[in-house]
Amino acid sequence: MKKTYKIAVMPGDGTGPEVVAEGLKVLKAASKKFGFDSKEEMFDYGGDRYLKTGKTITDEEIANLKKFDAIFLGAIGHPDVKPGILEQGILLKTRFGLDQYINLRPVKLYSDAFCPLKDKKPSDIDFVVVRENSEGLYKGMGEFVDKGKSDEVAIQISHNTRKGVERCLRYAFEFCQKRNKRKKLTLCGKTNVLTFAWDLWQRTFDEVKKDYPDVKTDYAHVDATTMWFVKNPEWFDVIVTDNIFGDIITDLAAMIQGGMGIAAGGNINPKGVSMFEPIGGSAPKYMGKNVINPLAAICALGMLLDNVGEEKAARAVEDSVIKVATTKLKSLGAGKMGYSTTEVGDLVVENL
Ligand code: IPM
Ligand code: MN
Q: For ligand 1, atom 5, which residue shows the shortest CA distance?
A: 87
87 lines ligand 1 (CB under 6 A): yes
Question: Which residues are CB-contacts of 216 (< 8 A; sequence separation ≥ 6)?
Answer: 182, 183, 184, 185
- Please tell me the distance between residue 248's alpha carbon and the centre of ligand 1 in angstroms: 9
pLDDT-flagged residues of the chain (< 70): none
Q: For ligand 1, atom 12, which residue shows the shortest CA distance?
A: 247
Radius of gyration for the alpha carbons in the chain, expressed in angstroms and rounded = 20
Q: How far is 303 from 310, CA to CA, in rounded Å? A: 10
pLDDT of 68: 98
104 and 276 Cβ atoms separated by less than 8 Å? no
| % of the chain exceeding 70 in pLDDT | 100
Helix, strand, or coil (residue 298): helix
Residue 309 DSSP class = T
241 and 247 Cβ atoms separated by less than 8 Å? no
- Please tell me the distance between residue 301's alpha carbon and the centre of ligand 2 in angstroms: 19
Q: How far is 137 from 197, CA to CA, in rounded Å? A: 11
Question: Which residues are CB-contacts of 172 (< 8 A; sequence separation ≥ 6)?
Answer: 130, 185, 238, 240
91 lines ligand 1 (CB under 6 A): yes
Q: For ligand 1, atom 9, which residue shows the shortest CA distance?
A: 279
Helices (H), the chain: 16-34, 47-53, 59-65, 85-86, 93-97, 162-179, 197-208, 222-231, 243-256, 295-308, 311-327, 341-350
Helix, strand, or coil (residue 237): coil
pLDDT of 1: 80
Residues 109, 349, 65: CA angle, nearest 5 degrees? 85
Q: Give me the amino acid identity at 84.
A: G
Q: At what angle do helices 197-208 and 162-179 cross, to 10 degrees?
A: 50
23 and 84 Cβ atoms separated by less than 8 Å? no
| Candidate from 73, 76, 87 with most ligand 1 atoms within 8 A of CB, to mutate | 87
What number does the ligand 1 atom closest to the CA of 243 have?
12
Q: For ligand 1, atom 6, which residue shows the shortest CA distance?
A: 87
Helix, strand, or coil (residue 275): strand
pLDDT of 245: 98
The pTM score is: 0.97
Residue 228 buriedness (CB in 10 A; 0-12 / 13-18 / 19+): middle
Work out the number of other CB atoms within 10 angstroms of the CB of residue 80.
10
| Ligand nearest to the Cα of 281, by number | 1
